Structure 1
Amino acid sequence: MAHHALVGTGGARAPRLGRSVGTSGAAPAVGGVVLVLPDGAPESARGPSPLARVAALPLARSLVRAGRSEGLVAHVVHYRSRGWNGADARLAQDAGWAASEVVRRYGDVPVCLAGHGMGARAALRAAGHTAVDSVLALAPWLPEDDVAARPEPVKQLVGRRVLIVHGTNDARTDPELSYRLAERAKKANRDTCRFEVHTDGHALRQHHGEVLALAADFVLGALFGRPFSRPVADALAAPPPLGLRMPLAAGFRRALR
């Protein structure tokens, strides 16, 4: 995938980074960047969804609060449009552009791509960018298995730490598809794990606090070398299926305090 700037022509939209999230006042030098990729749609020429962008902000703010002492910065990526649009893989292209823009702005800092739904698919697909250190994929939207279709690639995940989180009651994106992707990814990259949030749906609202705590634990460990919590360390070390069906236990957030 090319990672050059995607400049709009003839009035067409161009991707951009939103303002840095939660960085008002004095802050240490930038030590790492999280690019938060909102949800999208399989096919659409409409502009990016403001609602999806707003829904991405709690994750960005939570991560910045947890990583402020390390100089963590978060940006929500503004896509050119909300559609993946088949082979165009537009959201993944925009994620790649955003990683290049981070390098231009901040220099050689580690980058985590953190996405939800279609944004999670974009994060996984764009992980091959040289600046990307890790991927957080929440309830990733993935295409149904199709013998005639090319499977989602996983080679771009080699050398990255990868965490997939999926609710078992997700009615929009089949959690079994993310498990199958995680199985293939684990064969190419042992630093892959997956957590299941039992009884939760696509938005992961029922156990929102636990999901945010898990995300922060993973991102700060991946970007800054903080020790992972025991569940994350065990999930990364365990062979399939154990490390790919790790339950996110109630009380995970309290256990980290």
Structure 2
Amino acid sequence: MTGPRLIPVRTPASPEGVVVVLHGGASRGEQVMVSPAQLSVLRMIPIARRIARAGRSRLAVHRLLNSHRGWDTRTTPVMDARWAIEQVRDQHGDLPVALVGHSLGGRAALLAGDDPHVRCVVALNPWVLPTDRVDLRGRRVLVVHGTADRIASPSRSADLVRRLPAGTDVEHVLIPDGKHAMLRHGRAFEEWATEFVVTTLLD
């Protein structure tokens, strides 16, 4: 059975930080494999490349392909994200890690962000539930949501931001008329994610 996979975007010899980019993608039944060509995977490539360019030779950037589509009952994207954190630590050493995710990947980034090696979390149009709870104190958190998202509720992500423990360093940004796929105003999503990650890991 195929497990999660890491795809290197940029792997400099001596990076100062590591970025793991997490895709979304709704379930298509139990144990349905992730295709590298599915749209939810492809839409994260420009973001990963932009962060890699901005980080120059100072950031290692990887894209994660999950074990299965959606939120499988046996293997969740959170488990895959935690696996990816361990993999990049084995490869690059004890460096600060940024998680950048979209939709279900945004939820996974938030819920896996309590890993002690994670320095910052970026959740783009995250698909979250009212029951989601996580303690992200000690990390920087950015939630960016399009106001016209009809797939992942902007109000739910706003509620999650409010539920974060007091003292969490969190920024919540709304993109007017932004939709779930980030095709409209895509550059705004990319710019917010890139600047936040580069500033946090390198400054």
- Shared fold (TM-score, shorter chain, > 0.5): yes
The whole-number CA distance in structure 2 between the counterparts of 1:89 and 1:125 is: 14
The whole-number CA distance in structure 2 between the counterparts of 1:98 and 1:13 is: 15
Residue type at the aligned position of 2:149: D
Q: Which residue of 1 aligns with 2:18?
A: 33
1:28 offset after TM fit, Å?
5.5
More helix by share: 1
List per-residue Cα deviations over 1:168-198 (Å, max 9, x = no partner).
000101100000000111x344301110001
The whole-number CA distance in structure 2 between the counterparts of 1:181 and 1:89 is: 23
Q: How many residues matched? A: 200
List per-residue Cα deviations over 1:23-52 (Å, max 9, x = no partner).
5xxx56111111000012256420014322
Q: Which residue of 1 aligns with 2:2?
A: 13
Relative to the length of structure 2, the TM-score reads: 0.92
The whole-number CA distance in structure 1 between the counterparts of 2:192 and 2:114 is: 23
1:84 corresponds to which of 66, 71, 74: 71
The whole-number CA distance in structure 2 between the counterparts of 1:44 and 1:160 is: 33
3-state SS of paired residue (2:144): strand
Residue type at the aligned position of 2:134: V
The whole-number CA distance in structure 1 between the counterparts of 2:124 and 2:66 is: 18
More strand by share: 2
Q: Which residue of 2 aligns with 1:73?
A: 60
List per-residue Cα deviations over 1:142-178 (Å, max 9, x = no partner).
13x4xxxxx20122x1211000000000010110000
Question: Within the alignment, does 1:210 sit opposite 2:185 as a pair?
Answer: no
Structure 1 stretches of at least 4 aligned residues deviating more than 3 Å after TM superposition: none
The whole-number CA distance in structure 1 between the counterparts of 2:10 and 2:60 is: 8
The whole-number CA distance in structure 1 between the counterparts of 2:48 and 2:13 is: 18
1:196 corresponds to which of 154, 174, 177: 174
Q: Which has the larger radius of gyration?
A: 1
Residue type at the aligned position of 1:65: R
The whole-number CA distance in structure 1 between the counterparts of 2:94 and 2:127 is: 30
The whole-number CA distance in structure 1 between the counterparts of 2:100 and 2:121 is: 6
1:220 corresponds to which of 187, 198, 203: 198
The whole-number CA distance in structure 1 between the counterparts of 2:110 and 2:47 is: 17
Percent identity for Structure 1 against Structure 2:
38
Residue type at the aligned position of 2:68: S
The whole-number CA distance in structure 2 between the counterparts of 1:85 and 1:124 is: 17
Q: Which residue of 2 aligns with 1:240?
A: none
Q: Which residue of 1 aligns with 2:94?
A: 108
1:130 offset after TM fit, Å?
1.9
1:22 offset after TM fit, Å?
4.5
Higher relative contact order (CA 8 A, sep 6+): 2
List per-residue Cα deviations over 1:117-140 (Å, max 9, x = no partner).
000001011112121111000000
Q: 1:153 to 1:13 in 2, by over 3 A?
A: same
2:82 corresponds to which of 80, 86, 96: 96
List per-residue Cα deviations over 1:80-111 (Å, max 9, x = no partner).
1112135x461000000000111111101111
List per-residue Cα deviations over 1:231-257 (Å, max 9, x = no partner).
xxxxxxxxxxxxxxxxxxxxxxxxxxx
Unaligned stretches of 5+ residues in structure 2: none
CA RMSD of aligned residues (A): 1.7
The whole-number CA distance in structure 2 between the counterparts of 1:89 and 1:40 is: 14
